[in-house]
Amino acid sequence: MQRIGVFVCWCGSNIAATVDVAAVSDTLKNEPGVVFSTNYQYMCSESGQNILKDAIRDYQLTGVVICSCSPRMHEATFRKAAAAAGLNPYMVEIANIREQCSWIHKDKAAGTEKAIILGRAAIAKVHLNAPLTAGESPVTKRALVIGGGIAGIQTALDIAEAGFEVDIVEKQPTIGGKMTQLDKTFPTLDCAACILTPKMVDCAQNENISIYAYSEVEEVKGFVGNFHVKIRKKARYVDTTKCTGCGLCTEKCPVKKVSNEFNLGLDNRRAVYIPFAQAVPKVATIDADHCNMLKSGKCGLCAKVCTAGAIDYKQKDEIIDREYGAIVVATGYQPIALDKYDEFAYSQSKDVVTSLEFERLTNAAGPTGGTLLRPSDGTHPHTLVFVQCVGSRCEDDGRGKSYCSKICCMYTAKHAMLVREKYPDTEVYVFYIDVRTPGKNFDEFYRRAVEEYGVHYIKGMVGKVAPRADGKLMVQACDLLANEQLHIEADMVILAAAIEPDPSARHLATMLTASMDTNDFFTEAHPKLRPVESPTAGIFLSGVCQGPKDIPETVSQASAAAAKAIGLLAKNKLTCNPCVAHSDEWMCNGCSACEKVCPYGAITYMDKEFRMPDRTTAIRRVASVNPAVCQGCGACTVACPSGAMDLDGFSNSQIMAEVDAICKMK
Amino acid sequence: MSKEFDREQILRTSGVNPRKCMRCGKCSATCPSYDEMEYHPHQFVYMVEKGQLDELMASKSIYKCLSCFACVERCPRGVEPARLVEAVRLQVVRQQGNNHLKANDIPALLDDDLPQQAIVTALRKYSK
Amino acid sequence: MQNEMTTFKPKIVAFCCNWCSYAGADLAGTNRLTYPADVKIIRVPCSCRVNPMFILRAFQRGADGVIICGCHPGDCHYTTGNYYARRRMTLLFSMLDFLGIEKERTRVEWVSAAEGAKFAATMNDFVATVTKLGENKRLEDLRCKK
C-alpha cells in the first residue's frame, strides 16, 4: 500500500474562486492510502515546495498527488521538489484542477465535485505508480539551421562561435534571405547590404559552419540529441568547387528573358545566373527550366566560355545524410499574394507595387540603379500613395490574414522619409488605420517622417485605385478625421502587403513533428517563458517562422535560439523520457505485431533461453524495446494481443484505475 | 418606441456586429455616393454602436445609399455597413407604417444621370 | 420523472493526447471557455495509447459517453499514432453500436494545441448529444453499482 500525500493548490484565487479547496483536501484525506492532505495558496512557490518536501520526509510518503495547474505547466517543478526530498520523481501525479476545472466552470459546487473526482483519479493512478529511472542518450554535437536568412545566419554564427559545428540549409542559391533585397533598415537607416553581407562572409569563412545552399531538407528522423537528416542538394549544373564566380557565363547565356526573382520580376536575368554580386556562395546556378542545353541539348555556350571548366550538365541532385543534436528552424516569410485585391489594381497596373518591390526600385543594386522611376514608363513619379494593412488585420475572408504584420508601419515610414529626402518635389501620402511603432526609437522615427519630412499621414483606408488612360492612378480614400472623401491623382501606389510564413514551413513542421498555429507560424513551447523553443524537444525557432518580427527582434531571437541550442549541445548525455514501453517476456509470444506499429523502430526480436516450469530450457522469440529509441507513444501496447507490452508511467492498469475512479461517482 | 428597441431591431435585421469594426474607414473610402451622404458608412457603424439612432433615422443618407455593397465587399473585418444602412432605413419605413414611396411613383422620378444600379435598388429600398 | 430527465448529468470520459488535445483543453481553460463539468479528461501520451479495453471498461463502469481526442491527421507528435487510433476506434465503435451503445456516445475528434475554442465547442456538443440520449444502460456491470 502506498502512503500518499495530497496537496491542493489555491493558485491565489485562480482555483480557490470556483473550487472549494478545503473541501477537496478534506474529502481526499479519506481516500484509501492517503496519509496526509493539505491545501496551500501557491504550491509552486518556494514555501509551497517546502511543504511538499517536509511532508514527504515527515510522513514517509511513497506517492504524491498535486491538485493544481496543468502538468504541462508545473509537473517538472514538483517532480524536482519530490526528488530533492528523496522521493522518486515519477511517483508524483498532477490532477489538473485549474485549466481543466476551475477556469472553465463558474459553479463552485460543480467545480468542487469535479476537482474531487480528478483528485481521486490521480490517487488511483499513484497507487499503481512504480519508481522509474530515466536512461541517458548521447548528444551529437552538431546543429542544423534550416533557412539562411538573417535569422539563420545569426543563429549559425552564434553556435559556431561557441565551438560547435553548424550546417545551414538554404533553398535559394545564396544565403542572405529577404534582408538582401532591402535597401535601408529602420530606425537608423543603415544600408541592409552593408550590415548583412559581412555576416554572410563570416558564415562562409567560419570553419565550424558548412553552407548547403540550393538545398532542402528531405527527411528528418530521430529525436533530441540524435536527429538523422537527409538533405537534398539540388543540381546547380555547376561544380561549386571549380566555379570562381567570375560571371562570364551569365553574360554569354543567350536566354535573356527569365524573370529575375531576386528583383521580384521587375527585370530579367539569364538562364545561368548569380542572384546578386555579394552572393554566398558566389557560384553560378543554371536554371534547368529555362536552359536550352538542359531542355533540348542545343547550346552549351556557358561550358565553352567557362575557363574553370565548372559547368556540368550531367550533375544530379545529391542526397547528404547528416546527424545533428539540435535543429533550428529559421524559414522566414514571404509577402502574401495580392491577386485577390482587385480594388488596389495590383494586377492591372505596373505602378501599383508591393513594399518589397519598392525596396528593389529604390535599391542602388536594384533594376533602376537606385533612381526611383515608375515601372510602367520610367518617368519620375511626383505623387506617391502608401497603403498600410493590405491583407493584415483582416477577418478570415480568404484574402488576408487576421494578425498584424508588425513591420509595415515602420518600413512605410522609412520609405516615405527616404523618398521625401531624395526627391523633395514629391508629395507622399500614407493611409493608415493605426500607426503601431513600439520599439526603441521607433515612434521618434515615425514622428520625424511627419514633422521633419512632411509626409502626409492620413487616418483612413484607401477604398479604390483606378488606373486612368493617361497613366495616372486615381486613388479614392477616406480621411476619417476630416470626415471627407479624398480623390488623389497618384503616380505610384505602394501596398504594404501582409507577410505570411514561407509555404515550405508546413511540410517541414510535419517532418519535424513540430506544432504550428492556424496561420502556419511555428508554435513556441510557452508563449512567454519559452519563446524560442518548439514543444518538440531539440527543435528551436528563430525569426519570422514563429511570428512576424522586424530585424532587431529577429536577430535577438536568433541569438536566443542559438543559446538554447548551445545549451543542448554542451551536454554530453541527455536524460531520456523514462515513460517507455517494456515487454513482459513471459507473456510475449513473439508475434511481431508491436514491431510493425512502432514508428521509431525501437522494437527488435531476440531468441532468448527460458527455464520453463517443467525445468526444461526452451528458446523463445520475444520482443525487446530499446529505451533510448522508444518515445513512449504506446501504439505497441494496444497492438499487443497478449498484453505483454505495457507503457511505464501510463500502464494499462493505471489508466484503467483512472477510468474506474472517474466513472465511480454516484 | 424606445431607442434601445430600435437599436436591437436594427442589429437583428441587419445581422451586423458593429463591435467588429476597427475604424479603418475603407467603407467610406470605397463609397460611390459619399458626397451625397450626410452620415457616411463608417459613421453608421459607429453611431449605431453608440445608439445615436435619431440622427440616422432622420437623415437623408439612408435613401442616398446605392446598395451597391462595395463596402460589404471590401470591409476587411466583414462588418457589412450597407446592411446596417438598409436596416436603419427599414426601421424607418416600418415605423411609418406605409411605404416611403410606391413602386409606381419611381419612373417619374428617374432621370438620365441616375446610375442603373440605383434604379434596380430603388425598388428594393422603397417597397418594403 | 420529468425533473429527473432535465437534471440528468452524463458521465463522460475524454482521452486526450498529451501533445495536442490535452494542450488544447488547457488552452480552452486559459481562454476561460466553458464546457460542462461532466467531462473528465484522462491524459495519455498519444491517442494510439487508448486501448479499446479502456473504453469497454468505462461503459462497464457506467460511463455515458467516451470521446478520444488526438492531433490532426499528419500532425501526430509520434507521426502516425492518430492513424492507428482512427482505425482501431472505427472498428470498436461499430462493434459497440452492434452491442447497442449508440454511435453518438463514442467519438474521435482531432483537436490541435491551438484549438482551445474547438475543444470547448466539441465538448459542449458531445455533452449535449449524450444528454439527449440519456443514461447508458448497455454493457453496464451491475456489480459495479453501489
The three-state (H, E, C) secondary structure of A278-338, written as one string: CCCCCCCEECCCCCHHHHHCCCCHHHHHCCCCCECCCCCCEEEEEEECEEEECCCEEECCC
pLDDT, residue C133, reads 92
**Interchain contact C67–A (C-beta under 8 A):** no
In a domain, A574, yes or no: no
Which ranges constitute the DSSP H helices of A398-441?
408-422
In a domain, A659, yes or no: no
Instruction: Supply the range of the domain harboring residue A268.
Output: 248-305
The closest CB to that of B24, out of A343, A461, A476, belongs to A461
In a domain, C96, yes or no: yes
* Distance in angstroms (rounded) separating the CA atoms of residues A273 and A261: 11
pLDDT, residue C2, reads 45
How big, in percent rounded to 5, are the helix, strand and coil portions of chain B?
Answer: 65, 0, 35
C67 φ, ψ (degrees, to nearest 5)? -125, 140
A651 closest CA partner among A211, A35, A128, A255: A128
Contact B25 A480 (CB under 8 A): yes
Distance to chain C for A460, nearest Cα, Å: 32
Strand, coil or helix: C66: strand
Going by pLDDT thresholds of 50, 70 and 90, the confidence category of residue A654 is very high
Cell numbers standing for residue A121: 483519479
Going by pLDDT thresholds of 50, 70 and 90, the confidence category of residue A8 is very high
Q: Are residues A406 and A491 in the same domain?
A: yes
Contact C22 A72 (CB under 8 A): yes
Q: Are residues A371 and A486 in the same domain?
A: yes
CB A506 within 8 A of CB A537: no
Q: Are residues A530 and A587 in the same domain?
A: no
CB proximity list for A414: less than 8 A, separation 6 or greater: A184, A185, A186, A187, A189, A445, A449
**Interchain contact C143–A (C-beta under 8 A):** no
pLDDT, residue A540, reads 96
In a domain, C134, yes or no: no
Residues A596-622: pLDDT tens digits?
Answer: 888 877 898 999 999 888 889 999 999
Residues A241-282: pLDDT tens digits?
Answer: 999 999 999 999 999 999 999 999 999 999 999 999 999 999
Q: Residues of A with CB below 8 A from B22's CB?
A: 393, 433
Look up the ipTM and state it: 0.94
In order of A10, A345, A383, A412, A454, the CA distances from A450 in angstroms are 52, 27, 16, 12, 5
Residues A547-605: pLDDT tens digits?
Answer: 999 999 999 999 999 999 999 999 999 888 899 999 999 999 999 999 988 887 789 89
* Distance in angstroms (rounded) separating the CA atoms of residues C141 and C120: 31
Residues C12-59: pLDDT tens digits?
Answer: 999 999 988 999 999 899 989 999 999 999 999 999 999 999 999 999
Q: Are residues A338 and A444 in the same domain?
A: yes
* Distance in angstroms (rounded) separating the CA atoms of residues A196 and A188: 14
Residues B50-83: pLDDT tens digits?
Answer: 999 999 999 999 988 988 899 999 999 999 999 9
Element holding A210 (H helix, E strand): strand A209-212
Interface of C with A in 28-57 (CB under 8 A): 28-30, 32-35, 37, 40-46, 48-54, 57
Instruction: Supply the range of the domain harboring residue C70.
Output: 13-127
Q: Are residues A614 and A527 in the same domain?
A: no
pLDDT, residue A665, reads 53
In a domain, C140, yes or no: no
Distance to chain B for A340, nearest Cα, Å: 11
pLDDT, residue C1, reads 41
Counted domains in chain A: 5
User: In this structure, which CATH number among 1.10.1060.10, 1.20.120.1200, 2.160.10.10, 3.20.20.60 belongs to the domain B3-100?
Assistant: 1.10.1060.10
pLDDT, residue B99, reads 59
Going by pLDDT thresholds of 50, 70 and 90, the confidence category of residue A363 is very high
* Distance in angstroms (rounded) separating the CA atoms of residues A57 and A489: 81
Per-position DSSP letters for A222-253, written without gaps between them: EETTEEEEEEEE---SB-TTT-----HHHHH-
Q: What does pLDDT average to over chain A?
A: 93
**Interchain contact B93–A (C-beta under 8 A):** no
C10 closest CA partner among C78, C80, C58, C76: C58
Find, in chain C, the residue whose alpha carbon is nearest to that of A526: C23
- Backbone torsion region of residue A592, taken as left when φ is above 0, otherwise alpha when ψ lies between -120 and 50, otherwise beta: left
Q: Are residues A326 and A343 in the same domain?
A: no
Counted domains in chain C: 1
In a domain, A243, yes or no: no
CB A581 within 8 A of CB A645: yes
In a domain, C6, yes or no: no
Residue with the three cell numbers 437534471: C7
Question: Nearest 10 degrees: CA dihedral of C99, C102, C104, C106?
Answer: -20
Residues A167-178: pLDDT tens digits?
Answer: 999 999 999 999
In a domain, A634, yes or no: yes
Q: Residues of A with CB below 8 A from C25's CB?
A: 99-100
Residues A13-59: pLDDT tens digits?
Answer: 999 999 999 999 999 999 999 999 999 999 999 999 999 999 999 99
Separation of first and last alpha carbons in chain C: 22
Q: Are residues A167 and A186 in the same domain?
A: yes
Q: Are residues A342 and A357 in the same domain?
A: yes
**Interchain contact A402–B (C-beta under 8 A):** no
Which ranges constitute the DSSP H helices of A603-663?
635-639, 652-663
Q: Residues of A with CB below 8 A from C79's CB?
A: 513, 599
What percent of chain A has pLDDT above 70?
100
Q: Residues of A with CB below 8 A from C27's CB?
A: 99
* Distance in angstroms (rounded) separating the CA atoms of residues B63 and B65: 6
CB A224 within 8 A of CB A311: no
Cell numbers standing for residue A349: 497596373
**Interchain contact B26–A (C-beta under 8 A):** yes
Cell numbers standing for residue A555: 536577430
DSSP bridge partners of C43: C16
Q: Are residues A347 and A460 in the same domain?
A: yes
In order of A428, A446, A495, B47, the CA distances from A344 in angstroms are 17, 25, 8, 28
Cell numbers standing for residue A123: 490517487
In order of A21, A32, A324, A567, C4, the CA distances from A14 in angstroms are 11, 28, 42, 34, 33
Residue with the three cell numbers 490521480: A122
Contact C23 A72 (CB under 8 A): yes
Q: Is the pLDDT of residue C105 over 60?
A: yes
* Distance in angstroms (rounded) separating the CA atoms of residues B26 and B22: 10
Taking each helix axis from N to C end, the angle separating A150-161 and A192-205, rounded to the nearest 10 degrees, works out to 40
Residues A377-421: pLDDT tens digits?
Answer: 999 999 999 999 999 999 877 889 999 999 999 999 999 999 999
In order of A150, B41, C80, the CA distances from B128 in angstroms are 61, 22, 58
Kind of pairing between the strands at C12-17 and A645-647 = unpaired
C129 φ, ψ (degrees, to nearest 5)? -60, -45
Residues A128-176: pLDDT tens digits?
Answer: 999 998 888 899 999 999 999 999 999 999 999 999 999 999 999 999 9
**Interchain contact C145–A (C-beta under 8 A):** yes
A101 closest CA partner among C35, B108, B77: C35
- Cis peptide bond N-terminal to A187, omega within 30: yes
pTM: 0.74
Contact C51 A652 (CB under 8 A): yes
CB proximity list for C128: less than 8 A, separation 6 or greater: none
In a domain, A311, yes or no: no
Taking each helix axis from N to C end, the angle separating A355-362 and A408-422, rounded to the nearest 10 degrees, works out to 30
Q: Are residues A510 and A562 in the same domain?
A: yes
Going by pLDDT thresholds of 50, 70 and 90, the confidence category of residue B127 is low
Cell numbers standing for residue A239: 561544380
Going by pLDDT thresholds of 50, 70 and 90, the confidence category of residue A534 is confident
**Interchain contact B42–A (C-beta under 8 A):** yes
CB proximity list for A2: less than 8 A, separation 6 or greater: A33, A62, A63, A126, A127, A129
**Interchain contact A462–B (C-beta under 8 A):** yes
Q: Is the pLDDT of residue A535 over 80?
A: no
**Interchain contact B24–A (C-beta under 8 A):** yes
Residues A285-303: pLDDT tens digits?
Answer: 999 999 999 999 999 999 9
Q: Are residues A99 and A12 in the same domain?
A: yes
Q: Is the pLDDT of residue A666 over 60?
A: no
Higher pLDDT, A492 or A510: A492
The closest CB to that of A664, out of C52, C61, C81, belongs to C61
